[in-house]
Amino acid sequence: MPKILKAEGERFPPVQYARGDGLLATGGDLSPARLLAAYRQGIFPWYDSPPVLWWFPDPRFVMFPAELHVSGSMKQFLRKDPFTYSVNAAFQRVMRCCGTANRKGQSGTWITEQMIEAYTTLHRMGHAVSVEAWRGDELAGGLYGVRLGSVFFGESMFTRYQNASKAAFIHYMRALVGEGVQLIDCQVYTSHLASLGARLIPASEFSRLLSELIP
């Protein structure tokens, strides 16, 4: 039974108590303190209506930046790269585009106004990051997530042109290698990220890595 968080500042239960589907707790808020405490433990919010649902899936889908795989066709595409890239140039726009992107098997979105407000606050504090791919002055694709220590927690991506989000992801992963980031949390399996080298690891290993990579 997931723990119901009632009191402000009430701690999450140990992540080992997550249900088989990954649900760990319900309730609480999206305050910066709550969100940062969650990410430090590998917990993330994912819900489309109140209460907030907090997740810790096992196994965990991650990428090690040094294992980034770029296919031959993608390398060819990048040699003719039609996009330019930026970091943190349009954070809220990226979130809103992710929230309205069409996703197979999903009819709604978890990127609500409440989520946008909460992560924009994290962005202003320097913890949430957006990556943009531009085609001229048009926002062609991008992604956003949370950066803590040597870990980047990816949240969502969107694309308006073929390969825009994938190219932005590759561009940013290469930059993160230079910045010493050693782990990318992709949360749950997608074939899109698997094609780039992401893989499943036991949640226990994921927790150990977080304890080593986040001060």
The string of pLDDT tens digits covering residues 22-32 is: 999 999 999 99
User: Mean of the pLDDT values across residues 99-124?
Assistant: 81
As given in the structure block, the two tokens for residue 144 are 């956003």
Predicted local confidence at residue 103, as pLDDT: 52
What CATH topology corresponds to 3-58? Alpha-Beta Plaits (3.30.70)
User: Mean of the pLDDT values across residues 167-181?
Assistant: 95
Specify the CATH number of the domain 61-213. 3.40.630.70
**Distance in angstroms between the alpha carbons of the first and the last residue of the chain:** 31
> In the chain, which residues fall in CATH 3.40.630.70?
61-213
98: Cα separation from own chain's centroid: 11
Predicted local confidence at residue 94, as pLDDT: 98
In the chain, count H helices and then E strands: 7, 11
As given in the structure block, the two tokens for residue 143 are 């992604």
Residues 2-25 have pLDDT tens digits of 888 986 778 999 999 999 999 999
User: Mean of the pLDDT values across residues 196-200?
Assistant: 96
Predicted local confidence at residue 104, as pLDDT: 53
* Cα(176)–Cα(178) distance, integer angstroms: 5
Burial 105-141 (b: 16+ CB within 10 A, else e): eeeeebbbeebbebbeebbeeebbbbbbbbeeeebbb
> What percent of the chain shows pLDDT beyond 90?
88
Answer whether residue 108 shows pLDDT above 60.
no
The DSSP H or E segment spanning 76 is helix 72-79
> In the chain, which residues fall in CATH 3.30.70.3550?
3-58
Residues 45-72 have pLDDT tens digits of 999 889 999 999 999 999 999 899 999 9
Of 86-95, 96-105, 168-177, the range with the lowest mean pLDDT is 96-105
